[in-house]
Amino acid sequence: MAKQLNGGVPDWVSRQSTIAAQPPWPAWGALLNYGAPLASLPGRVTITGSVDPALLAGPLIVVANHIGDYEPIVLAPSLYKVGIRPRFLATKGLMTAKVLGPLLERAGFIRVDRGSDDARHTMTVTDSALRNNGHIVVYPEGRIGLDRDLWPERGRSGVARMALRSRVPVIPVSSWGAHEVLCYADDRRKLNTFARAMWQQPLMQVHVGTPVPLDDLVATRMGDANRARERIIAAITMQLQELRRGEPGRPRYLDPTRPCSQQSIAAFPGGHVPDDLRALITAARDTP
């Protein structure tokens, strides 16, 4: 159990807020830079898209679909390659691990205690990071996706509320292919699928998009958080549709250990974003 400071605030909140206010840890940057080839061992990695250098100089909220355990290992160096200095939101289990936890914390990872009273403290740390031009990486779905066809689920409203409150640009990122490297199940089976990927070398794709249009939405207006959430997931889905153009329906690779839903629970089944929403996002993307 985390130690409590005055006012009942856990001690990790103060530690992580202090780290969030500091420049990125050089060792984390070095790992992302020089360790990138290691992430490519079980497959070929391609990175498309970019971020305006003017945006890179300030705070960013990066939102991505979560397709498997290996995908963050590919995502982190890919983001770093386009200039994003990633500070991931990570679950309590990772952040409290004896060896890994302190390293992730020093790298700027931010703890999320989902479903507990401590979840609100995450906002304290993210606010500190954003005030100091940090680049926060969030998975709106809140877990590895369990839609039967691996399209992004509806997601949670937390990242939308964060974006509307802070008025920080939201960069959508879509990835595909890394779900073939590590299966959903136990460690022994993960080793089997990793060995299989090393042999077959699947294509792992990451696309970094342009900011999601949210300027017309307001944090205090009823319904706008849901509208923001819908636009964020729609932007990720539209980019993913391009990455998996040859797999619009059931994915080519199916993980029998993933407890997927029997029916689609995707926000936009089959990647079909409504025309009005698609037009809104496309117009913002095409505006110079």
Model confidence pLDDT, tens digit, residues 255-266: 999 999 889 999
The continuous run of DSSP H or E covering 33 comes out as: helix 26-34
Average pLDDT over residues 52-74: 97
Q: Is residue 190 part of a domain?
A: yes
Nearest partner of 260 among 166, 176, 150, 153, judged by Cα? 150
Q: 77: domain range?
A: 43-85+134-286
**CA dist., res. 97 & res. 118, Å (int):** 18
Q: What is the mean pLDDT of the chain?
A: 93
**CA dist., res. 105 & res. 82, Å (int):** 23
Q: Is residue 182 part of a domain?
A: yes
Q: In this predicted structure, what is the pLDDT of residue 222?
A: 95
Crossing angle, helix 26-34 and helix 71-81, to 10 degrees? 100
Residue 145's pLDDT band (cuts 50, 70, 90): very high
Q: In this predicted structure, what is the pLDDT of residue 1?
A: 45
Please count the structural domains in the chain: 1
Three-class DSSP labels, 137-176: EECCCCCCCCCCCCCCECCCCHHHHHHHHHCCCEEEEEEE
What is the pTM assigned to this prediction?
0.95
More confident residue, 263 or 3: 263
51-74 as b/e, with b when 16 or more CB fall inside 10 Å?
beeebbeebbbbbbbbbbbbbbbb
Average pLDDT over residues 137-157: 94
Q: Is residue 121 part of a domain?
A: no
Cβ proximity of 270 and 248 under 8 Å: yes
Q: Is residue 125 part of a domain?
A: no
Q: Please give the span between the terminal C-alpha atoms of the chain, in angstroms, as a whole number.
A: 50
Residue 9's pLDDT band (cuts 50, 70, 90): confident
Q: Is residue 103 part of a domain?
A: no
**CA dist., res. 133 & res. 161, Å (int):** 18
216-251 as b/e, with b when 16 or more CB fall inside 10 Å?
ebeeeeeebbebbbbbbbbbbbbbbbebbeeeeeeb
Q: Is residue 78 part of a domain?
A: yes
Q: Is residue 66 part of a domain?
A: yes
Average pLDDT over residues 137-159: 93
Query: Which amino acid makes up residue 20?
Result: A
Q: Is residue 5 part of a domain?
A: no
Q: In this predicted structure, what is the pLDDT of residue 262?
A: 87
Query: Which amino acid makes up residue 117?
Result: D
Nearest partner of 77 among 208, 210, 244, 181, judged by Cα? 208
**CA dist., res. 71 & res. 234, Å (int):** 20
| pLDDT tens digits along 85-114 | 999 999 999 999 999 999 999 999 999 987
Average pLDDT over residues 151-173: 95
